[in-house]
Structure 1
Amino acid sequence: MQVLNLLCASVLAVLAQGITATVTQAAEPFPSKPVRIIVPAAAGGSLDIIARLVAQKMGEKLGQTVIVENRAGGDTLVATRYVKDTPADGYTLLAQANGFTILPSLKQDAGYDPLKDFTAIGLMARSPMIMLVSANDPSRNVKEFIVRAKSDKLSFASGGVGGPPHMAAAMFLRMQGLELTNVPYKGNSLALPDVVAGRVTTIFDGYTSCVAYLKSGKLRPLAVTSATRNGPLPDVPTFKEQGIDYEYTLWMGLLARAGTPKEIVGRLSESLQYATSSKDLIDRLVSEGADPSFVTPEAFNKYLAAEVPQMEKLVMELKLPRQ
């Protein structure tokens, strides 16, 4: 009997220790270690630059380091699938843009469902794209480009099929009834030198990743895709100013794996709001041609839920084949 009592006491002690450890772990404040933001593209692109600016400010609010890690490849699928398979604990986030909602319609097996596998944290920024050609290109405006494209065999570069640069260009070309050869790259930063050299005719890109080429005069901007002119490029007209009814907005946001606790999502959202509302970050983003655009996780989830079917329809209209 005494042995049995000792055994029961030992079991209870072990159980008590386990319960205490579980309660302590559950009560551990978030974050207790660095948070990672996975960027699905090469360093130097618009998404990478914006993510790094936001990460620094988020870290201030969270009281922890926020690390940006690049995992390029597979038209952003490598990074997206990686984050989908990480624990739903808020320590690994995914930076994404418009291509996030369209790739499931373009791939035979994208490996993720944007609405079921992820939950929104919020937007980092919105920005227009710029239609660019080489400084030696004969086109001085969009209408001259259209005339030339109807008689010559031209091409357009993109940082992967289905990404924002590809879709922005494809939508414009479809509206104008133009057929240009798409030359895909593993990121726009790798495509720009070929546009500069004239090996590819045009590219649609964000300001942050092409600014060096603009300032050096190696690339010529023909138009911006926003409704109004972009801050850093006051002399570059919009498409609408050139008589073409076309707009495209690039959004850049943060997501976590579905199932991440609401209180952690809320904590991350608060830090993102802090980042996007800080004056020095706003000034920096505006100077980079972007518009800080905080929204709540609920609003961003609703936005994504509306965009997914819109992108499915667009893929059908553009007759883009599944890869």
Structure 2
Amino acid sequence: MNLPPPALSRRSLLAGLSALALPVRAQAYPSKPVTVVVPYAAGGTTDIVARLAAHSLSTLTGKTFVVENKGGGSTTIATGLVAKAPADGYTLLANEMTQTIVPALFPKLPFDPIRDLAPVTVFAEAPYVLVVNAKVPANNLRELVQLAKAQPGKLNFASGGAGSGPHIAGELLKAVAGIDMAHVAYKGSGPAVSDLLGGQVEVLITAAPTVAAQMGSGRMRPLAVAHGQRLSSLPDVPTAAEAGFPGFLIANWFGLAAPKGTPAEVIAFLHAEVQKMIRRPEVREKLVAAGAEPVAMTPDQAARHIDAEARRWGELIRKAGIKVD
């Protein structure tokens, strides 16, 4: 009776066990609560979207996903916490557009906001909308540009702070349209919206959810969406391209990221569950109600998107000379 060499049998056994290892590890995750860190205080759009994701993932997996708010430091506190966390999939970042702005604003951080995180996916985006105080004599983006060119530096555009998304959006419009507007920085989007409604500033460019509640107030007027197509939540508002400014494109986006080095099977598991999540009609409805549009990106696509955004905004920040205190 011929038996295979003992060493060969051991090798075959080890190979078989190795083949089983990945599915077993993927099935075992998560074996304890997963924390989704939000880089802002509770109540904002990023927080709302992150809580929707955490609740949906808990429902889909039967496991616990909890949100922890870590605001401050222009999102660097939360981003640094996740970047330095164990790479085991139990600490995730609710990442968004600011991740791609921070590197140019804070070049001396003790971590790399891009390279020290592994994207899981980008699953929603909230294109920016340009709104003006109702008394501004412009009914569309082209008329606003003509008004700005007729009185350089006289129009003010608001933002929630130096280096914030609305600040970047205003600088982008200035570059694309060849106009000059004065930037007025506030401590948060709430005061910026209040002063726009009050007429202290004329222009605000921000993610649609920020101003959605005030759209019907009669005190502000939407002129354009900085997106390739009209929004389902604002179907009557034309795109910037329709007004002749196709380069005016900016949107906040929402995703999940894990510390660099997180096992590929954990990333794959999370990505697959998020894809199931955004296919659920009730989730899509809630995203649209919040002013966001569902999207689907693989980890590789999300990584390329983040890299491209970081290069784009980094160049704009340097050219505009944007600094933060």
User: What is the distance in 1 between the residues matched to 2:186 and 2:154?
Assistant: 20
* Residue of structure 2 equivalent to 1:277: 279
Letter in 2 for 1:58: L
* Post-superposition offset of 1:190: 4.1
Number of residues paired by the alignment? 298
**For residues 192 and 41 of structure 2, what CA distance do their matches in structure 1 show?**
12
Tell me, in whole angstroms, the C-alpha distance in 1 between the residues paired with 2:280 and 2:36.
19
Q: Could you tell me how far 1:27 is from its partner in structure 2?
A: 9.8
Kindly state the Cα deviation for residue 100 of structure 1 after the two structures are TM-superposed. 0.9
Distance in 1, Cα, partners of 2:186 & 2:281: 35
Matched residue, 2:61: 62
Aligned ranges for residues 137-216 of structure 1 at < 5 Å? 137-150=136-149, 151=151, 153-216=154-217
What is the rounded CA distance, in whole Å, between the counterparts of 1:184 and 1:283 in structure 2? 33
| CA distance 1:164–1:175, change in 2 (3 Å) | same
How far apart, CA to CA, are the structure 2 residues paired with 1:184 and 1:303?
28
Superposition pairs of residues 77-156 of structure 1, within 5 angstroms: 77-150=76-149, 151=151, 153-156=154-157
Using the TM superposition, give the Cα deviation of residue 255 of structure 1 relative to its aligned residue in structure 2, in angstroms.
0.8
Kindly provide the amino acid, as one letter, of the partner of residue 104 in structure 2. S
1:44 & 1:204 partners in 2: Cα distance? 20
Residue 89 (structure 1) shift: 2.1
What's the offset of the Cα at 1:108?
4.2
Deviation at 1:120, TM superposition (A): 0.5
Residue aligning to 2:234: 233
On the 8 A contact 1:58/1:274 being kept in 2, the answer is no
Distance in 2 of aligned mates of 1:157 and 1:199: 9
| 1:209–1:60 distance in 2 versus 1, CA, 3 Å | same
Residue 205 (structure 1) shift: 1.6
- Match of residue 302, structure 1, among 301, 304, 314: 304
> How many percent of aligned residue pairs carry the same amino acid?
37
Distance 1:32 1:272 in 2: 18
TM-score (norm 2): 0.82
Give distance in 1, aligned partners of 2:71 and 2:184: 18
Question: In 2, distance between residues paired with 1:65 and 1:185?
Answer: 37
Aligned partner of 1:47 in structure 2 is 46
Residues 32 and 71 (structure 1), Cα distance of their counterparts in 2 relative to 1, 3 Å cut? same
Which residue is 2:32 aligned to? 33
Shift in CA distance, 232/115, structure 1 to aligned 2, threshold 3 Å:
closer
User: What CA distance in whole angstroms lies between the structure 1 residues aligned with 2:109 and 2:162?
Assistant: 13
Give me the CA root mean square deviation.
2.4
Contact (CA 8 Å) 1:98, 1:164: kept in 2 or not? yes
Distance 1:177-1:281 versus aligned 2 partners, 3 A rule: same
Correspondence for 2:12: none
Give the Cα separation in 2 of the matches to 1:169 and 1:35.
Answer: 37
| Aligned 8 A contact 1:159 1:187 in 2 | yes
Letter in 2 for 1:175: V
| 4+ long deviations beyond 6 Å | none
Q: TM-score, normalised by structure 1?
A: 0.83
**In structure 2, distance between residues paired with 1:243 and 1:81:** 40
